[in-house]
A and B are shown apart, each in its own frame.
Chain A
Amino acid sequence: MTKSFGSQIRGGESSCRVRLSTSKVLSAGGVLNIAIALNWEDYNKFGAELPIDEETLVIYEAASQTPPDALPLAVKPGEAIAVPIAEIARPFGDKSKNMVVLGLIAGWTGIAREALLHGIEKKLGRKGPAVLEPARQAFFAGESFAREHPLAVDRTLSPAPQRETPLLLGDGNEVCAAAALFAGCQFFGGYPITPSSEIMHLLSREIWKFGGGFLQAEDEIAGIGSAIGASFAGKKAMTATSGPGMSLKTEMIGLATIAELPLVIVNVQRGGPATGIPTKSEQADLLQACFSSHGDAMRPVLAVTSVADTFATTVEAFNIAEHFQTPVVLLSDQEIAQRKEAFEPIDTSRIPVIDRLRPTPEQLDNYHRFAAGADGISPISQPGTPGGNYLASGIEHNEEGAPTQSGVVHERMLQKRFRKFDALQRRRDLIEIEGDLDAPIGVIAWGSVAGVCREAVAIARENGLPVKLLVPRLIYPVIEKVYEEFFASARHGLVVEQSFQGQLYRLLRMYVNVPDGFISLARPGANPLIASQIARKLEQIASKSLQSLYV
């Protein structure tokens, strides 16, 4: 379930789209099967976010007095029914319109009647019968209307098969916070910002139970600053924010890089720059995530690809941060962060949790904080440990931690700080590849758009197109070899993403020889990418690439 709003607090337009399936749902979906407009003015404010086509059933408020053949829509829908929703709801109170609509949907499609009634009871039962009963009656009234007004085309769905293990239900922000606790996060410092605040909400409630601490800081800089302090003190630490907050935290990310302190920074992306379109999803902070720092600084960037995947990828972010003693940017986006997704239970026993390397008693006898082995990683001490005393600093320092202005030392320490990431080039498991490995057509996508592309590729393959898909969970550093192998067979294809510039496409071209046949399919936030359209695009590419064989 994906909610979308304007950026007002109460009132104003809001939409809620629900996608149901007996098979795995990979994205919020494209064109609506059923669209419900309580009023047309608000409906149309969402524009392409709520697309309708010739198949869609449109249910709308009869009081709008719009004739079914003159709807304010660009496309003529499959069927349009005016329902006097407000009038049906009136006897049951002002807030009953939604219940009438649930009744209509249940009546026309047969979807989970018992579950809907159970849900109404769960949501409203504790408010007492004076609230619950009118809501139930409104639901029944909607259902009766549907029964009395059968659709032109029957849309009744067969009941879903019973499952043995029930699915879990959560949104990306909640799952991210839960994963942080699983990974051993014991400190969160942050500042409220849409659409990431729910991470902070959950941790402010739960982290104490795990012996952790929490700070709602006075600003974004103090949020990350306190997390860096906690990491210095030896605790796994996290901060979470969205684009503008990320900009403010930039200097501190550089500090964590040079001081080699583990830290997870979550950026739940929204439309930018500046305030941008703060309640809508976008993927335009990728280049910022990789490069926003002065000086030669590098930090790994991971991206979640679904609500369920947010769990493992968040734990991975902590593992990489701790192992490599580095800030890690974990990119989520509003679409994943705030959509409710039903997901399979996760076997957490298969997810490893890694802690930072600490000095041995022998190393503490003559401790040099930044002395490194071949892998560039140095054992890290923490306050309270006798013999481990050292100076952490944003100023360049030598192996002992003493400040220096020496170019020789600066270069040596840069080599150390970059060398440690060489090992990430072996993390092929952090890039998912689906489809025939020798397919001539390829798709590359990340974040919430990865789910859309999984569906697009499935459609294309059903249509007989030889396509494969690459989804990086670790985006930066770019694991060059994996892309080179991918491009060995796939000389044509798409890099699909929700940004204006096509930031992943540009990033890949910095590191890999992207074939000329690969083009960027990039649309900015609040303009949904639709699986069927991407599949069509792939067909066009395929026919062109075949033609080119004969030219």
Chain B
Amino acid sequence: MKSVEIPTSTQPAVYKSNLKPIWCPGCGDYGVLSALCKALANIGRPPHEIAFVSGIGCSSRIPGYTTAYGFNSVHGRALPIAQGIKIANPDLLVIAAGGDGDGFSIGGGHLPHAIRRNLDITYIVMDNQVYGLTKGQLSPTSPCGAKTVTSVYGSMEAPVNPLATVLGYGCGFVAQGTPADLPGLIALIEEAIRYPGFAFVNVQSPCVTFGSPDWQLPQHKKTLKKLIELGHDPANRLAAFDLAQQYGEELHVGVLYRNPNPPVTYDQLVRQRQAELAGNTVQKDRILEMFKVA
């Protein structure tokens, strides 16, 4: 990739690569890309200090559309790779992203563990309630009754509730946004990145091709409820649970929960342990001395 001149005052354009997205015109993911680049510009870390990891799916193409060090991996595995990167180099700003199928279905087993380990990683899910890249199958967040190519008579399954799920797992920062409120989404992503610990942002990012025609950005715009206007206190985890229960019924946007006392992160503990034990390092050429018999 061509190296990028970094201007002194960081502009969002610095974070956008010259690759043309494969997304359909009108896809919500354009808004997520735009919001992310603006949030990164506000934070100001240069692209080479950012590692941006994804799985597979339409939305997982997003790292390639940025100038960060990107990793478009395999389906469902963004979080393990992101954690390896962060442990290996805690100085990096690490972001993971993907779709609802990637994060809650095939990769769903990684989510509780990424949350409980609490590395300083931001995880953005573009939740469109459908499999787009494979052309319109049922997804883990498709509502019960949804008619898709694999549920022609209507889905018989209850959907995953991403917000309640991550709150239940103990996530320290939980937010939901929509590209229909771009300034709000920029602020959420920026706050998530600045949160010192694992931060989860669910973005309602509608699929124009396979998603419900009744649940596109214009409808978001009309129905969204800003949590700040509802008087929600993001430090109140129980109130956050109450709001999360309404996933699929109400479009709440804003920070549901932000731990007012963020605990120490795994990556900080890695550093501490390395520092504590550094004095015990043996010379590499003496490494076999551990096999001496006393």
Which A-chain residue is minimally distant from B47 (CB atoms)?
A389
B9 contacts A by Cβ under 8 Å: no
Cα(A238)–Cα(B46), bound, Å:
30
Residue in A168, A228, A393, A394 whose CB lies within 8 Å of B292: A168
Residue in A169, A215, A387 whose CB lies within 8 Å of B87: A215
Residue in B50, B69, B87, B282 whose CB lies within 8 Å of A209: B282
Residues A174 and B291 in contact, CB atoms below 8 Å apart: yes
Cα(A440)–Cα(B277), bound, Å:
57
How big is chain B's contact interface, by range?
Answer: 35 or more
B residues less than 8 Å from A170 (CB atoms): 290-291
Residue in A167, A209, A349 whose CB lies within 8 Å of B280: A209
Q: Within the complex, what minimum Cβ distance (angstroms) separates B108 from chain A?
A: 11
Which B-chain residue is minimally distant from A222 (CB atoms)?
B80
Are A391 and B72 CB-contacts (below 8 A) given A311-B288, A348-B287? yes
Cα(A500)–Cα(B199), bound, Å:
50
Which A-chain residue is minimally distant from B279 (CB atoms)?
A209
Residue in A218, A251, A385, A387 whose CB lies within 8 Å of B113: A218
Residue in A187, A222, A366, A383 whose CB lies within 8 Å of B50: A383
A residues less than 8 Å from B81 (CB atoms): 225-226, 228-229, 232
B264 contacts A by Cβ under 8 Å: no
Which B-chain residue is minimally distant from A385 (CB atoms)?
B48
B residues less than 8 Å from A366 (CB atoms): 2-3
Are A226 and B84 CB-contacts (below 8 A) given A365-B3, A403-B72? yes
Residues B291 and A394 in contact, CB atoms below 8 Å apart: no
A237 contacts B by Cβ under 8 Å: yes
> Contact string, A402-416, partner B, CB cutoff 8 A, digits 1/0?
110000000000000
B residues less than 8 Å from A182 (CB atoms): 284, 287
User: Which of B110, B273, B287 is packed against the most chain A CB atoms within 10 Å?
Assistant: B287
B99 contacts A by Cβ under 8 Å: no
A residues less than 8 Å from B112 (CB atoms): 218
Residues B1 and A389 in contact, CB atoms below 8 Å apart: yes
A181 contacts B by Cβ under 8 Å: yes
B residues 52-80 in Cβ contact with A at 8 Å = 53, 56, 61, 63-64, 67-74, 77, 79-80
Which A-chain residue is minimally distant from B4 (CB atoms)?
A389
Residues A187 and B87 in contact, CB atoms below 8 Å apart: yes
B88 contacts A by Cβ under 8 Å: yes
Which B-chain residue is minimally distant from A381 (CB atoms)?
B69
B51 contacts A by Cβ under 8 Å: yes
Residues A392 and B70 in contact, CB atoms below 8 Å apart: yes
Residue in B82, B86, B109 whose CB lies within 8 Å of A218: B109
User: Which A residues lie at the B interface, using CB under 8 A?
Assistant: 122, 166-170, 174-175, 178, 181-182, 186-187, 189, 208-215, 217-219, 221-223, 225-235, 237, 251-252, 254-255, 259, 311, 343, 345-346, 348-349, 364-369, 381-395, 400-403
Complex A-B: 18 CB contacts under 8 Å: A174-B291, A178-B290, A213-B87, A215-B83, A217-B80, A222-B83, A222-B110, A232-B51, A233-B92, A255-B73, A311-B288, A366-B2, A368-B1, A383-B50, A383-B85, A389-B69, A394-B72, A400-B2
User: Which B residues lie at the A interface, using CB under 8 A?
Assistant: 1-4, 6, 19, 46-51, 53, 56, 61, 63-64, 67-74, 77, 79-89, 91-92, 109-110, 112-113, 270, 273-274, 276-278, 280-282, 284-285, 287-288, 290-294
Q: A209-B280, A384-B92, A402-B64 are in contact. List 18 more A-B contacts (CB 8 A).
A: A166-B292, A168-B288, A182-B284, A189-B84, A209-B278, A214-B87, A221-B77, A228-B81, A229-B80, A233-B88, A235-B89, A252-B74, A367-B2, A383-B92, A386-B46, A389-B4, A389-B48, A395-B72
